[in-house]
Amino acid sequence: MSKKVYVWLVLAAIILVTTGSVLYFSNHDRSLKYFVIDEGLYQGDKRYIRQTNNLAAINLGKQIGVTDEKQQVYEITGLDSDSWICSRTDGIESVFRETKTPYLIPEKFKANKLLIKDEGALGGKQVIISQKDIIERILSDMKDENLVKTPDTEQISSIKQVNLYSEDYPGIYFILYLLHDESNGYCFLLESGTQTTWKIGHELMKQIM
């Protein structure tokens, strides 16, 4: 073997070892990128707090890390990962916001589309509402003066899921529940994560009937 060939082989070996080391430590750092502390996720000087269970991701982007508890961490398509991320554990997803990102509530979500899902109907039924005037009438009922105690289960004759979508937050949606007390003629919207309930009009029921 010539000296020149030998030198090239040594250089190639060094490159392979160096590349392998970089990949190893890169993957190693990635697996320790997020740390779970008091139900929050920490990444360097950033802290992410889990939103209520009523906020869900529409589509996940690429995986950007793994926590020290082996939770997978993803980008949320359409949102900045500096503000919003999503973790997945055994198929269960949770949306997190960075602490500097304002806590999101339905009234501040600026919904421009609603989806009502009636799983109790034969074959299931879904209604999409995109008319601005109807959405405004529905959301106008979600005011403090309409807050009430969540009705007892025996009062409720039907429950339907209501998803809120917003152009301002294209990667996530709110999940609310439409409760119908048919015997008393009342309708309610429930955010189950915080047990916040509003007494509302019958606009949503009219749309799904």
What pLDDT shows up at residue 114? 96
pLDDT at 1: 54
Which one-letter amino acid corresponds to residue 67? T
Write down the pLDDT at residue 2.
55
- Structure-token match 């999940």, residue found: 175
Domain ranges of the chain: 30-103, 106-208
Question: Average pLDDT per run of 10 along the chain, which is 209 residues long?
Answer: 46 41 40 80 93 90 92 96 94 94 90 91 84 90 93 91 96 95 93 92 88
What is the CATH architecture of 106-208? Sandwich (2.60)
What pLDDT is stored for residue 169 in this prediction? 95
Number of C-alpha atoms within 13 angstroms, CB side, residue 137? 13
Model confidence pLDDT, tens digit, residues 84-114: 999 999 989 999 999 999 999 888 899 999 9
The reported pLDDT for the residue numbered 176 is 95
What pLDDT does 19 receive? 41
pLDDT at 122: 65
